[in-house]
A = this chain, B = another copy of it.
Amino acid sequence: PPGRKVLIVYAHQEPKSLNGSLKRVAVEELSKQGCSVTVSDLYAMHFEPRATRNDIVGCLQNSEEFNYGVETWEAYKRGGLSNDLIEEQKKVQEADLLIFQFPLYWFSMPAIMKGWMDRVLVQGFAHEFPNCYDSGLLKDKLALFSFTTGGSREMYAKGGISGDIRYVLWPMQHGIMHFCGVKVLAPHICFAPEYVSEEKRKEMLIAWAHRLKTLWKEEPINCSPEWYFK
């Protein structure tokens, strides 16, 4: 609906890829609805995935023994995180919905996107004990994982060789988003687009655009072990 803000965190090297098209479809459809859409195009930004001392501007609390979690927490509180992190945190703060668009790499997100999670979702900003899970600091936001796979739907079935696709969603949806209080919409998965016809790939784009039309009416999943491992 008009006024809603969406951040798309996008990780693919090639604009012409299906991931690139899925991202474009989302920007177009959501903009048409009157949403304001921001894209973090991680490869184009040369986004830094490594969690290092460079993420803290100025002095460390303890320069004798570097503790990334503690130092970024302290830096966040005094406004001393590096600019790229402050930028991303602003985008997250303003967003009602986070869409993560990526190809599944090794049962997880590509390292460049994992680095976004590792570095942006700093303690104090996204969570702060005991404010985690349902009381995480990013509650009232929604997230949606939209990704492509190499393996087929059959491989990722419950009895399939790669196991239920929901198994791979646990760390991402529950371990990251739910931990920060974010409610999770059902994932959007395009299975094995490299092994289907151009026609089928077009249908995948149409299906995504179609889903986005009624996205704001969707209820979040019940993000508990039952959803994943029932």
Contacts and interface: CB of A to CB of B under 8 A. Distances in A.
Contact of A51 (B112, B117, B179): B112
Interface string A35-49: 000000001001101
A176 B229 contact: no
B13 A106 contact: no
Give the number of copies in the complex: 2
Contacts of A49: 49-50, 111-112, 114-115
A59 to B, nearest CB: 16
Residue among A150, A161, A176 with max Cβ neighbours from chain B (10 Å): A161
A105 B71 CA distance: 15
A47 B161 CA distance: 32
6 contacts: A17-B65, A67-B194, A107-B172, A110-B114, A111-B115, A111-B119
Given A13-B68, A46-B50, A112-B115, 12 more contacts: A14-B66, A17-B67, A43-B50, A69-B150, A107-B172, A107-B174, A108-B108, A108-B114, A111-B115, A167-B167, A167-B170, A170-B170
